[in-house]
Amino acid sequence: MSAVPGGAATSKEQVARLLALVPYFHARESVRLAEAAADLGVTPEQVVKDLKVLFMCGLPGGYPDDLIDVDLDALVSSDGKLVRDGVVRIGNADYLTRPMRLTPTEASAMIVALRALRAGADGETTEIVDRVLGKLESAAAGGGATTAVAVHATPDVEPDPREQTMRTTLAEAISHGVQVTLDYYVPARDEVSRRVVDPHELSQRAGYTYLDAYCHAAEAPRSFRLDRIAEIEVSPTPISTERQGPRSLEDGLFSGTDNATLVTLRLQAPARWVVEYYSVEEVRPAPEGGGAIDVDLRVADERWLTRLLLRLAPHAEVVHPTTFGAEFTAAAQATLAWYRPGSA
């Protein structure tokens, strides 16, 4: 996807993290920074940033004793470097020792996911899933608000044994420190490209498994979605790059936005869903009326835009810059020519 999804880090997200962070350390004695970051799904840098804010919070008295205690000296050395095996200690925050209740959305998403697991599980796993469902449902219903389960679904994609095999293969390559060759599908170009990469880590983001690696073709770190890898070949060649710091959830995934072009599309009513699906800069009614809209969005790869316009055809066209529609026009004409030889 070449359009850039929205979602800058916000204060409320930081508050949500802090509300998990304090009870996390309360429930465990002497946890090291790196381990805590991994458990909480954030970078050690972010944990320290969050703790520095926490350090300024506390009871409304305004006295130093009212503030939450955080031992920052154990986590940041005198020259400003992170101490990854530093032990995190938080004190004077007894009122925040429990995490927040699950929101209805969280409880609902979790319960439906568990039911989906149950549908495809064997007897032993079914019994474990039932125990978890029981505990979650009673925890969610324990408060004043009842939790509506808003979603009912059975899984539409069966477990993918191919992806499991890949995980194992990649995990081995990572632990042996050897390069792998990937055949990787790039939707923007509808092509499979072969590249040699240094595999560094497997990670989970928004429901997909990614391989974080250094790509020798791009000469840069890249993330690869496992479901888009067609083939893996493990090579005996040792990797030649270091892992370049953990990448945060939001960054990294969508690179190349610096040289993106601002494109204006005119969308007829049936194509309006684009606005809700991709992050767009501006939306306004089209001069022709009739429910049509003009949308500005950033496009990093013209081939991605061409594929989108083909998918929406004939309900979308490029208003500006006009040169950006040429590839689409040519593709539509070429497609038509297969069915009506001579017409193009």
Partner 1 sequence: MSAAKTERLMNLLIMLLVQRHFVAKSRIREILYADASDDAFERMFDRDKEELRSIGVPIELGSIDAYFDDEPGYRIQPDEFALPEISLEPDEAAVVGLASRVWQHQRLARATTEAVRKLTASGADIDVTALEIAQPRLSADEPTFDVFFEAVIERREVRFDYWRTGQDAPSRRRLQPWGVTRYSGRWYVVGFDLDRADERIFRLSRVQGAVSKVGEPGAYEVPADLDAAAVARRLAPTPHRVRAVVLAQVGAATPLRRDAVSVETGVTGPDGSDGWDRLIIDRAGGGIADEICSFGPAVYVEAPPELRESVIERMAASVEGLAR
8 sits near partner 1 (criterion: CB under 8 A): yes
Q: Which of 125, 235, 237, 323 binds partner 1 (CB under 8 A)?
A: 125
98-117: which residues touch partner 1 (CB under 8 A)?
A: 98-110, 112-114, 116-117
233 sits near partner 1 (criterion: CB under 8 A): no
230 sits near partner 1 (criterion: CB under 8 A): yes
10-49: which residues touch partner 1 (CB under 8 A)?
A: 10-24, 27-28, 39-41
Q: Which is nearer to partner 1, 257 or 333 (CB)?
A: 333
Let me know: does 46 contact 65? Beta carbons within 8 Å.
Answer: no
> Residues with Cβ < 8 Å from 3, sequence gap 6 or more?
278, 279, 280, 297, 298, 299, 304
> Residues with Cβ < 8 Å from 263, sequence gap 6 or more?
296, 297, 298, 299, 305, 318, 320, 321, 324
| Binding mask of the shown chain, residues 48 to 87, with x at each position contacting partner 1 by CB under 8 A | ----xxx-xxxxx-x-------------------------
Query: Angle at Cα 325 formed by Cα 256 and Cα 188, nearest 5°?
Result: 40
313 sits near partner 1 (criterion: CB under 8 A): yes
Let me know: does 86 contact 32? Beta carbons within 8 Å.
Answer: yes
Closest separation between CB of residue 267 and partner 1, Å? 10
What 8-state DSSP symbol labels residue 76? B
Let me know: does 212 contact 223? Beta carbons within 8 Å.
Answer: yes
Q: Which is nearer to partner 1, 158 or 219 (CB)?
A: 158
DSSP H or E segment with residue 293: strand 293-299
206 sits near partner 1 (criterion: CB under 8 A): yes
Stretch that binds partner 1, among 69-77, 174-182, 200-208, 215-223 (CB under 8 A): 200-208
Query: Angle at Cα 70 formed by Cα 69 and Cα 76, nearest 5°?
Result: 155
Closest separation between CB of residue 250 and partner 1, Å? 11
Distance of CA 222 to the CA centre of its chain: 14
Q: Which of 6, 64, 123, 207 binds partner 1 (CB under 8 A)?
A: 207
Q: Which is nearer to partner 1, 259 or 343 (CB)?
A: 343
Let me know: does 67 contact 94? Beta carbons within 8 Å.
Answer: no
| Binding mask of the shown chain, residues 137 to 176, with x at each position contacting partner 1 by CB under 8 A | -xx--xxxx--xxxxxxxxxxxxxx--x--xx--------
Q: Which is nearer to partner 1, 98 or 176 (CB)?
A: 98
Size of the site for partner 1 (CB under 8 A): 127
Q: How far apart are CA 31 and CA 71, in angstroms?
A: 13
Task: Determine the longest span between alpha carbons in the chain, in angstroms.
Answer: 85
279-308: which residues touch partner 1 (CB under 8 A)?
A: 291, 306-308
| Closest by CA position to 223, among listed 232, 210, 236 | 210
237-276: which residues touch partner 1 (CB under 8 A)?
A: 269-270, 272-273, 276
Closest separation between CB of residue 240 and partner 1, Å? 26
